[in-house]
Structures are given as structure tokens and as C-alpha cells.
Structure 1
């Protein structure tokens, strides 16, 4: 049973810390709500989602945020008896500008109510906070919108002392690292060991060239020298490695005294296809120290799938089912950009969802979604829905972003005056109807409708049934590789999701009662 990835499905930019005998790891959520996922473990292999801290408007407002904007690269640390969370809200990412806001929020208990955040600055993204005794320093990748006279976008890593009590910077700015020839130095973290400050930095952009490099200095403000062993981790020169795009992470010493690096990675459906539907996931490597420098144990710089010093993972496949009968939504449900609020109501044995915007909207969708955890799974939902017209739609969706999704849904056909099952396919903003009007028709007296996706090697077959009738396939198998980082046009930082949604393009008063949802890896 493999060790990696330790967190499957869309879970990029891991940042790890330890507190009170446990480990905590934060990952990015981008446009998905609530913001930031915090995972807990006692053995560095088996992780449980314990908190989504950014839940209130005081923490973030993502309404209208573009696809792959939102919450970038959170930095989680534990110091002074409380947790510190540094996060970026990216509001605009096209062109030469990156319009961002960087905040810090704190909480004494990981499951507690996180404080109102303090605004830090809007210069650069993926910052972190380094605690050096009773002093705190902001590490920040500087972004330069200019491109003339040899200027580069990633201008270098800035270090500056910050007073949390005064909510302002109190020291001078120091550019401590400008990166290597690879370029794109970002995601900085510092650890202190044996009198040295070690700077861990991602480089190469979050694609095939992604990597991590290390530099060190006796003084916090530098000068920093690069590791003589070169890159700490990358998959770029190892095309057959199951763990691709290795980069962006940080280093921690375990309670047993061993050292580990957590980092993001991606898995291709196959070496030939070279597409990642699951997005960027989280992985772990053991670190050894050689001549005072961190290196991967058991390899040069290529990530390993199995880590000998760690136990086998207890759960290697995903199974989730709910009949919405406990009055609480499972933590792994996502919403888009904002809380659904009054548009969903949990009742005994069903979830009532009122229709919202279309799947192309950046604003008020009624959508609950979960991550794809593998390339082979079955997922289905059962619901009651009696639309009045073709502008009321409800069903199940495989979703990457507003311009890439497959929607299997029920609506009403005004010609036959019947409820119908139909498909909408959106590939990079081009929307089509794969059934070409050959709908599945539902009897007028049917009560419960079931819709299902069966996904195998990223190929998607759709099914439907009603009440206790056998299920029927509908339409041809659809190549789902368009729901991948590589085939999405523009920014693609998340991963494939599956969920339930209700749409009302007329009055926003129709509703669907979802009775059941399940997801099971094959």
C-alpha cells in the first residue's frame, strides 16, 4: 500500500506544523468555500479534515472571484500557544497584474472560532510568517508587473519584521533571495537549525518544471547561499514518476526526531495522456541532513511513492454516502465562492436546495461539491424534483470551473410537457447538448429520480432511473480528460469535482429535495 499522495484529490500547496502531539496541514481552496482546509494527523500518513477556518465574510468575500482566484497557498504555524494562518485572497489574475490581499488570522484551538483577520499588504502572494523567538517576520515573494529593461515578474523574496500587536511593519525590507536560473521563486518558508536559517522556496511555476530549492544563512537577513546539492525536489527529469509537478512545500521535524518534507504533486491518468484531473495533491518525503543540508532520503531529487519510515495508510480508497439525516453537512462538502445560506435547508432525511445561478456564474450558485479522489469511481444522487419549465434544472455535475463541466440533469420539455433527463457539456466555454434532443423521458407519476456517473480511466458514462426501476445508460461515453489542469484554457489551479446543483433561471423559487448522495472508488 503506497504512502503518497497523503491527501488525494485537489489539495495543493501543503503547509505543515505540529502542536500538542499532533500534526496539522493546511491546503489551498481557491474559489471554493469555506476557505482553507486544515488536516490533522498523528502519524503523517492518515489525515482527517478537521477545520475549514475561513467561514465568515470577515475572513473573505469571494463573490465574483475568477476561476482559480480566491484563497492561495495558506501558511499555517503554531507559536505562542496559538495557531497562525497567513493567506492570500487573489481577486484578479489575468494580464501582468495580480490584485491580491494578504491576511493573518489566529486561533488558540484548531477547531475554534478564528479571529477577525489583520490585513498585511497587497504585494505579492503565497507569503509566510517566520517566528524567531518573540519576533515575527513576513516572507513575501515580490511581484513586478513591468517587463522592460530586463525586469522579471518574480522579483525575489522579501523579509520584513512585522508587529502583530501594532498591526504594522516595524523593520526594514530585505530582499534575501532572488532565486536560481529556474526562476519563479515563491512559497517561501524558513526553519532554524544548528545556528542556520534555512530558506525553502518553490520555483519553476506550478507545472511540470515545479521544484523546491534550499538556501541558508547564519543571519536571518542574509546573505543566503544555495545548497551545493542543487534542487531539493523536482519531477521534471523523471517523466515516468507517478508523482509529477513536485514542488511547493515545507520541512518539519517529527516528534520522533526524523525530518520530512511535505509538497504538492500531481498524478497523470497515464504517462501517455499526461493530464491531471485530480489537480495538485499533497505528498510527503523523508529528509536526511548531509553536510548541514537537507536532501531527500533514498533518492536524488525525484519524489518517492513509498516512504519506509512511515506506516502504511489505513484507507486507500474513498467511500462516502449520506442520506442527509443528521442535520449537519459533512466537512468535505464545498460551495462556490460564498455560503449557500438560506438556499439549502437540512431536513430529516433530505436536503432541500433552492435554485440558484447557472454553472457559468461567478456569483450565486446553489452547488455542493466534493473532490474526485481517483480516476475510477461511481457517484450518484437520488432526489425529488418537479420543474415547471425548462428554466428550472437540477441534477449531478462533474465540474472543474465555470467553463468546464458536464451536467446530467432533469428539467421540463415544453413540447412533450414531460420531465426529461438531458446532458449539457461545457468545454472551455463552448456549451453543447450531447444527446441532440434524444432525452430520457420520466413518467408523470414518478417520485424519486436517480442520476449517476460511472467514471473509469477518466471516461464518463451517464445513467438515470426512477423509483425502483432499473437504471439506463444515457448518451455515449464522454472523455472526461477535459476536466484537467492541462486541458482547461487559462488558469487551472484546482481539480475535478463532483456535486449536486439546482438552477432556477426564472424566479429563484423552485427547489429540489436531495434524498441521497454517494461516491465510491472502484
Structure 2
């Protein structure tokens, strides 16, 4: 008996949209401000998954320069019709603070929704077409009569309103790529509130509406309703929730919600959903929101439920009886003697990566051109990969000769512009030195810089080690045998959704990688010879 180990997509992979086409399964997940946009994973057995593409990869599809932290690409929806794959997504432009001095005012947020399409899942996707901006989490439903419909949550910005006004639907003319007719509000949600993430499925003459509710924190949940008419009215599921981990902050899978259904060829339903794995006893998820999956069943009353009816997530469900299809392990050796960026890596916001990095200007090295600050929302040279383990070591080697204090380059653990640890090489007067920059809402100063000490000439190796909630940095000259360990043990859990500034969105996860800044505007480069990430046994599990 094969067992699926949840989460199937570890690390920052939230808001899954799952699709089956023939024998192939695909999951699209949110990427927020990270570029290229949307991650698509592929499987043939629901157990083994591989990244096959990030389709939003050019300016005509996605430009996120200037978007705030945790904005950008929200909740993509993947579907198939007319022999084409369809991808619809929100590119969030603004996340307005709703309260000032305790007073609740209007919440002005911008949620433009776009659609792209492609005949092949890993092909060159079309330019993005704007459809509406009335709310986020768009999805497409292709009905049996050939008509297609777009759903999204409806945002109400007016003072004193509930913000989450329900689920809206409007017909989409696929040929013209535009919405037609009038929008209809088909579901106002349940008492859990925060109604979002809609999907519709048709079964036995019923339209089943699945939504996420309860917010993206500990009370997150999957909720369902159904109707004989697409436009409603929709009756709420008699059990209220279909899946939730509410009330459990120490379980192996928490914060479960925002799901999507897929059926096997034999009709067996499976639910993909987001989840979080907190550090034991800390209630903080530095890996961010991940993707899990489990089998469901349709009961005699026509409603969907978990296998045991408990509405609880499953850490290790039995795999479906499909041929096991593991993918070849094409592991990257950590070197940069290649023509493209290794697929593990992404950068932030801009569709012009050539301004940030090059793999050809100095063959065998990743060259980062010093750009804006680590806190920039426009153009920063920061290339990083997701954390996937509760215990890991990340190491890199950098050749960098700063001219002044405005230039820095090094190893970074990054959640967003207000939460990061950055071990960098800079210069003070005529001395090249090692510095540690820390950004955290827990700091009264917001951002601090500590001088570690002077550095010798030549390339420097930098290392970060995380074991649960403990982070330790070290450095050494290239090829030296002994590491110089920084004396302070740092709190890795500040790099999580759960540690935040009031009013700011926190929906992503922690990345580790390389960065280079030059605030003088000279774009002084730093050259990285290699980067190694070694994940160890996962510590994100409950303890007695």
C-alpha cells in the first residue's frame, strides 16, 4: 500500500487549483510577488509531483513592480476547455489598511483579474487579457452546454461593510475573451465569514459551490453549498464545513482551507487544499502555506465529506490505485556553469530579470547587479528559493569588492521587506566588513545592522543553518576548513505569517538565497560561484 505524505508540495505553495486531463494531474499555486508568476506541478499518480513551469514570464502577462508585500498573483485557477488550458488569476496592486487609530474606514484595494491560455501546459502562454477588477480569487466554470462562467469573491470597499460581500458569477465569452451579460451575486457565505476561493462543479444535476472561509489563519476552512440552478439560490452544506483544522494549532496539518476538487477516472473525488505546519510549541509556520491532498467521498445525501466524516485533514492518506509514477531526480549540483537560472530560484516583481542577474557576463558565476534596497517594491537583485524543510543548511560563495557603505551583497533569509535576516559583505571607510541586517516587527527599530567584523581579501563563503526555530550564521574564506560562527542564535520564526505589522498582509513563506544592493546607483556586481541547499529531517511535526 502506497501512502501519500502530506504536504505534497512543501514550502510556499498556497491556494491550489487542481485539474485532471486524461491521465495527467496538474496543480497551479499562488506566487504573490515572486516572479515568474504561478507554479504548475504535474503528477500521474497524485503522489509524485514535479514543477513543470511558471507560465507568467513576460511583461505582457505580468508586471508587479511597485506592488506591496504579499500582493501580486493570488489564487490562480487552472481549467481545460476547447482543447486549451485556461489560467485565470488576480494581480493585486494595492492592499489598503482598513483601520487608523481604531477607526474603520473605506478599504481601497485593487484586484484586476486576467486570463491567459495555451494549447500545451508547458508551452508559451498567451498575453494576459483583463476581465474585471471586482474582487479576487477568480475561477472558471465550463458548463456542459458549452458556456463558460467566471466566478470571484466580491470586494465591498465601503466603510462599515463586511468587505467580503460574497461570490459573484458572470458569463465569459471564450472566443472574444470578455465578460458578457450582468454579474450575479450567488452566495453571501456562512457565519464563518471571509468567503473567497470559489469553485463550481456539476454532479447529478446539482451545481456544487466550494469556497474558502474563516480567513487564512487557524480558523481556515473549506465550505460547500449547492443549487439546481447555476445562479442559485445555494443551500449550505448540512455539516457547515467540509474540511478544517480549526482549534488545532499543534497538529501536523493546520490552517487547512482554500481547496479544489478533482475526480479520478473512476469518479473518486480528491481534495487539494492549503495547509500550514507550525514549528512545535511556537505556532509559527516559516515554510508558509503548503499544498496537501486527500480522498473524499460523496454520501448518499449527495453531499461531499471526508472519508470518516470528521472534516479533518489527513497527514498520510492511502494513495489511489494508479500506476506509481515517480519522476527522475535531476538534482542541481549547485554550480552556475549553465545558461539558465536553476528552476528552484525566483526573483521579485520585475519582468526584466536581465537588469538583476546574468549567467553569461562571468561564465561559471551568477552575477547579481547591485540594485535597490532589500525593502524595495520595485527592483532588487535578490534571487532565492523556497524553504522546504524545518531543518536545513544553505551555503554560498561570493566574490564582491564594495567601494562604500552603500554597497552590499551576501546570503539572505527573506520573508518580505519587513522580515528578513541578511548576512552581507559591505565596506566602512577603507575596511571590507561582514554585517548582519535584521528586519522584524518585533524590533523597536524595525531594521538593525550589526557589524560582525573585518574580512580578509578574496571570496567569502557564507552559511545559514536552521533547526526548527533556531538560526545560526557562519562565514569563512573560500576553501578554508574552519567556519567562524556568529555568536548569537537568532529566532527563525519571525519569518512567518504569524509575526507581522498590524494591517499588513502576510500570505507567503520564507525563501533563502543571494542578494546584492548598490544604493549609489552604480550597479556594482557581486559574483556567486555556487549555492547549496541541504534539507534534513522535517521538524514541522507535533511533539509530546
TM bucket by the smaller chain? Answer: over 0.9
Please, which of 443, 449, 453 is the counterpart of residue 433 of structure 1?
449
The aligned counterpart of 1:132 is: 143
Deviations along 1:273-312, one digit per CA (max 9) or x if unpaired, are 1111111100111111112111111351110101113489
The aligned counterpart of 1:58 is: 60
Check whether the contact 2:73–2:91 (CA below 8 A) recurs between aligned residues: yes
Answer yes or no: is 1:346 the counterpart of 2:352: no
The aligned counterpart of 2:490 is: 478
Distance (whole Å) between structure 1 residues aligned to residue 110 and residue 162 of structure 2? 17
Q: CA deviation at 1:320?
A: 5.5
Distance (whole Å) between structure 2 residues aligned to residue 326 and residue 386 of structure 1? 24
Distance (whole Å) between structure 1 residues aligned to residue 233 and residue 4 of structure 2? 40
The aligned counterpart of 1:153 is: 163
The aligned counterpart of 2:340 is: 328
Please, which of 436, 452, 465 is the counterpart of residue 476 of structure 2?
465
Deviations along 1:22-47, one digit per CA (max 9) or x if unpaired, are 11110001111111111111111221
Check whether the contact 1:161–1:171 (CA below 8 A) recurs between aligned residues: yes
Answer yes or no: is 1:367 the counterpart of 2:385: no
Please, which of 113, 131, 136 is the counterpart of residue 102 of structure 1?
113
Please, which of 153, 158, 177 is the counterpart of residue 167 of structure 1?
177
Please, which of 502, 515, 521 is the counterpart of residue 529 of structure 2?
515
Q: SS of the counterpart of 1:481?
A: helix
Distance (whole Å) between structure 2 residues aligned to residue 206 and residue 463 of structure 1? 35
Q: SS of the counterpart of 1:99?
A: coil
Please, which of 490, 494, 507 is the counterpart of residue 508 of structure 2?
494
Q: CA deviation at 1:321?
A: 4.0
Check whether the contact 1:319–1:521 (CA below 8 A) recurs between aligned residues: no
Please give the residue correspondences for 1:53-452 in structure 2 after superposition, counting only pairs within 5 Å. Answer: 53-94=55-96, 95=98, 96-133=107-144, 134-148=146-160, 151-270=161-280, 272-290=281-299, 291-310=301-320, 321-338=333-350, 339-347=352-360, 348-414=363-429, 417-428=430-441, 430-434=446-450, 437-439=451-453, 441-444=454-457, 447-452=458-463
Check whether the contact 2:370–2:524 (CA below 8 A) recurs between aligned residues: yes
CA 1:319–1:269 in structure 2 vs 1: closer, same or farther (change >3 Å)?
Answer: farther
Check whether the contact 1:319–1:518 (CA below 8 A) recurs between aligned residues: no
CA 1:161–1:2 in structure 2 vs 1: closer, same or farther (change >3 Å)?
Answer: closer
Check whether the contact 2:211–2:258 (CA below 8 A) recurs between aligned residues: yes
Q: Mind listing any 5+ residue stretches in structure 1 that lack a counterpart?
A: none
Distance (whole Å) between structure 1 residues aligned to residue 325 and residue 425 of structure 2? 40
Distance (whole Å) between structure 1 residues aligned to residue 423 and residue 207 of structure 2? 53
CA 1:352–1:9 in structure 2 vs 1: closer, same or farther (change >3 Å)?
Answer: same
Distance (whole Å) between structure 2 residues aligned to residue 407 and residue 161 of structure 1? 48
Name which of structure 1's ranges 69-78 and 169-178 shifts more when overlaid on structure 2: 169-178
Q: Mind listing any 5+ residue stretches in structure 2 that lack a counterpart?
A: 99-106, 537-544
Name which of structure 1's ranges 495-504 and 237-246 shifts more when overlaid on structure 2: 237-246
Q: CA deviation at 1:111?
A: 1.3
TM-score by length of 1: 0.94
Distance (whole Å) between structure 2 residues aligned to residue 432 and residue 462 of structure 1? 16
The aligned counterpart of 2:5 is: 3
Q: SS of the counterpart of 1:341?
A: helix
Distance (whole Å) between structure 2 residues aligned to residue 475 and residue 321 of structure 1? 30
Q: CA deviation at 1:223?
A: 1.9
Check whether the contact 2:250–2:283 (CA below 8 A) recurs between aligned residues: no
Distance (whole Å) between structure 2 residues aligned to residue 65 and residue 125 of structure 1? 15
The aligned counterpart of 1:40 is: 42
Check whether the contact 1:82–1:106 (CA below 8 A) recurs between aligned residues: yes
Q: CA deviation at 1:314?
A: 6.5
Q: CA deviation at 1:15?
A: 0.3
Check whether the contact 2:148–2:173 (CA below 8 A) recurs between aligned residues: yes
Q: SS of the counterpart of 1:67?
A: coil
TM-score by length of 2: 0.90
Q: CA deviation at 1:146?
A: 2.0
CA RMSD of aligned residues (A): 1.9
Distance (whole Å) between structure 2 residues aligned to residue 2 and residue 407 of structure 1? 36
Name which of structure 1's ranges 65-74 and 471-480 shifts more when overlaid on structure 2: 471-480
Check whether the contact 2:397–2:478 (CA below 8 A) recurs between aligned residues: no
Distance (whole Å) between structure 2 residues aligned to residue 2 and residue 159 of structure 1? 35
Distance (whole Å) between structure 2 residues aligned to residue 374 and residue 84 of structure 1? 32
Distance (whole Å) between structure 2 residues aligned to residue 322 and residue 256 of structure 1? 42
Distance (whole Å) between structure 1 residues aligned to residue 440 and residue 330 of structure 2? 27
